[in-house]
Amino acid sequence: MMKEDVCKPLSLEGRVAVVTGAASGIGFGIAKKLAEAGAFVALLDINEEQGKKREEEIVKSGGRARFYRCDVTSNAQCQEVAEKIYREFGRVDYLVNCAGVIVRKNVVELSEKEWDLVLDVTLKGVYIASHNFIPYMIKTGGGSIVNIGSGWGLKGGPNAAAYCAAKGGVVNLTRAMAIDHGKDNIRVNCVSPGDIDTPMLRNEAKQLGIPWEEFLKEAADRPIGRIGTPEDVANAVLFLLSDMASWITGATLVVDGGGIA
Residues 190-236 have pLDDT tens digits of: 999 999 999 999 999 999 999 999 999 999 999 999 999 999 999 99
Distance CA(241)–CA(144), nearest Å, equals 5
DSSP state of 228: B
Per-residue confidence (pLDDT) for residue 253, from 0 to 100:
98
The rounded percent of the chain whose pLDDT value lies above 90 is 97
What is the helix, strand, coil percentage profile of the chain, to 5? 50, 15, 30
Pair 40, 15: CB distance under 8 Å: yes
pLDDT at 97 over 60: yes
* Residue 99 included in any domain: yes
Pair 118, 163: CB distance under 8 Å: yes
* Residue 122 included in any domain: yes
User: What's the order of all strands across the beta sheet hosting 94-97?
Assistant: 64-69, 40-45, 16-20, 94-97, 143-148, 186-193, 252-255
pLDDT at 4 over 80: no
Rounded to 10°, the helix 75-89/125-140 angle is: 20
Count of domains observed in the chain? 1
Supply the residues annotated as catalytic. 163
Per-residue confidence (pLDDT) for residue 8, from 0 to 100:
78
* Residue 192 included in any domain: yes
* Residue 174 included in any domain: yes
Q: With bands split at pLDDT 50, 70 and 90, how would you rate the model's confidence at 144?
A: very high
Q: Tell me the pTM.
A: 0.96
* CATH classification of the domain holding 112: 3.40.50.720
The rounded percent of the chain whose pLDDT value lies above 70 is 97
- Residue spans of beta strands (DSSP E) within the chain: 16-20, 40-45, 64-69, 94-97, 143-148, 186-193, 252-255
* Residue 82 included in any domain: yes
* Residue 155 included in any domain: yes
Q: From the CB of residue 154, how many other CB atoms can be counted at a distance below 10 Å?
A: 17
Per-residue confidence (pLDDT) for residue 241, from 0 to 100:
98
* Residue 79 included in any domain: yes
**pLDDT, tens digit, for every residue of 31-78?**
999 999 999 999 999 999 999 999 999 999 999 999 999 999 999 999
Half-sphere exposure of 189 (CA within 13 A, CB side): 22
Distance CA(121)–CA(27), nearest Å, equals 14
* Residue 3 included in any domain: no
89 lies in which domain range?
12-255
Per-residue confidence (pLDDT) for residue 150, from 0 to 100:
98
User: To the nearest whole number, what is the mean pLDDT of the chain?
Assistant: 96
